[in-house]
C-alpha cells in the first residue's frame, strides 16, 4: 500500500522502499542510517543523481546501477529510476553504542556475523531486549534485511533495542576490546568452554555466527573465548536464535 505521497510502500517479499529522485535524496540527507542500499537506472547522469551517489559514499551505503526490469520488480509504480531499500528501524551510531553500552545494566552487546534469516535476527533481538542486553550489532553487508519480518518476529522489541551496523565486524570487535570488552564467540572445538560452567565477565560482546558457516575465521581470531553448549543427547545442533537465547540468559543471570 502506498503512502499519500505515492512514493513509498512495501514491495515483494515484505521489503520496504522509498522511491523517486527527491524522496531518496531527502532520506539520505535526513536519515541515512535507515537505508540499506540504493539502485538507480543504468546510464543515468545528472546533478541530483550525483548528489545521491555522493551521500551514499559519505554514509558507506551500497549503491549500483540497475536495468528497468529490476527497478520495476522492486517497485511497480513511478520510481523515476531511483529506488532505496530501507530498514524498518533507525540504526544507531556504532561508536556511540560501544561507548555507552559498557555503562548499562547488562553491558552485553550481541554481534551477528552475517546471520541471514530475518526471523532469527528478530528472535535474537526479542531475547536480547528481554534479558536486558545493551544492543545488537549487525553486518552492513551480507546480513539479514531488517524489515517488517524481523520486526514481527521480534514482537516489536527490535524497535526498542539499539541496533548498529558494522562495516567490518572484525575491526569493530578490535575496537570493543580496546574499550575493555571481553569478546566471546558461540562455537565448539578444543578451546571451547562449557557455557554452563564458564565465568562470564562483562562488559562483553557475544558473537553469533551465520546459520550454516558459523563465525568466520577472520572474526573468530578477535574473540578471546569460545562458549559451547553441551548436549545431554546425541543431536546435530541448535539454530543461532536458540543458542543465542541460552547464552544470553546465562549472562543475564550471572550479572544481576
User: Residue 200 pLDDT > 90, yes or no?
Assistant: yes
CATH 3.40.190.10 fits 8-86, yes or no: no
At 99 the pLDDT is 92
- What is the share, in percent, of the chain residues with pLDDT greater than 70? 94
User: Residue 254 pLDDT > 70, yes or no?
Assistant: yes
Distance CA 213, CA 186 (A): 12
At 5 the pLDDT is 39
Distance CA 132, CA 98 (A): 16
Range of 67-76, 86-95, 162-171 with top mean pLDDT: 162-171
CATH 3.40.1160.10 fits 94-254, yes or no: no
Asked if 254 and 200 touch (Cβ cutoff 8 Å), the reply is yes
At 108 the pLDDT is 96
Cα–Cα distances in angstroms (integers) from residue 44 to residues 38, 40, 48, 146, 190, in the given order = 14, 8, 10, 29, 55
At 237 the pLDDT is 79
Q: What is the pTM of this model?
A: 0.78
Distance CA 256, CA 85 (A): 40
Distance CA 167, CA 171 (A): 8
Q: Which of 207, 168, 166 is nearest to 187 (CA)?
A: 207
Domain-wise residue ranges, the chain = 8-86, 94-254
Amino acid at each position: 500500500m502506498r503512502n499519500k505521497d505515492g512514493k513509498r510502500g512495501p514491495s515483494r517479499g515484505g521489503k520496504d522502499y522509498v522511491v523517486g529522485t527527491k524522496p531518496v535524496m531527502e532520506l539520505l540527507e535526513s536519515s541515512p542510517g535507515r537505508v540499506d542500499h540504493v539502485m538507480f537506472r543504468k546510464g543515468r547522469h545528472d546533478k541530483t543523481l550525483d548528489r545521491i551517489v555522493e551521500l551514499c559514499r559519505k554514509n558507506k551505503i551500497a549503491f549500483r546501477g540497475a536495468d528497468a526490469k529490476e527497478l520495476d520488480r522492486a517497485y511497480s509504480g513511478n520510481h523515476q529510476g531511483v529506488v532505496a531499500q530501507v530498514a524498518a528501524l533507525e540504526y544507531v551510531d556504532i561508536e556511540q553504542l560501544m561507548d555507552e553500552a559498557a555503562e548499562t545494566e547488562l553491558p552485553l552487546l550481541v554481534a551477528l556475523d552475517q546471520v541471514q534469516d530475518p526471523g532469527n535476527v528478530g528472535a535474537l533481538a526479542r531475547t536480547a531486549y528481554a534479558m536486558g542486553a545493551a544492543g545488537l550489532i549487525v553486518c552492513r553487508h551480507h546480513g539479514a534485511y531488517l524489515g517488517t519480518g524481523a520486526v514481527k518476529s521480534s514482537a516489536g522489541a527490535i524497535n526498542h533495542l539499539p541496533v548498529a551496523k558494522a562495516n567490518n565486524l572484525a575491526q569493530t570487535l578490535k575496537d570493543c576490546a580496546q574499550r575493555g570488552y571481553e569478546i566471546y564467540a558461540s562455537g565448539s572445538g578444543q578451546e571451547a568452554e562449557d557455557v554452563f560452567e564458564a565465568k562470564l565477565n562483562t562488559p562483553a560482546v557475544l558473537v553469533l555466527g551465520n546459520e550454516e558457516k558459523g563465525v568466520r575465521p577472520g572474526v573468530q581470531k578477535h574473540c578471546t573465548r569460545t562458549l559451547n553448549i553441551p548436549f545431554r543427547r546425541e543431536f546435530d545442533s541448535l539454530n543461532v536464535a536458540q543458542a543465542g537465547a541460552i547464552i544470553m540468559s546465562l549472562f543475564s543471570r550471572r550479572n544481576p
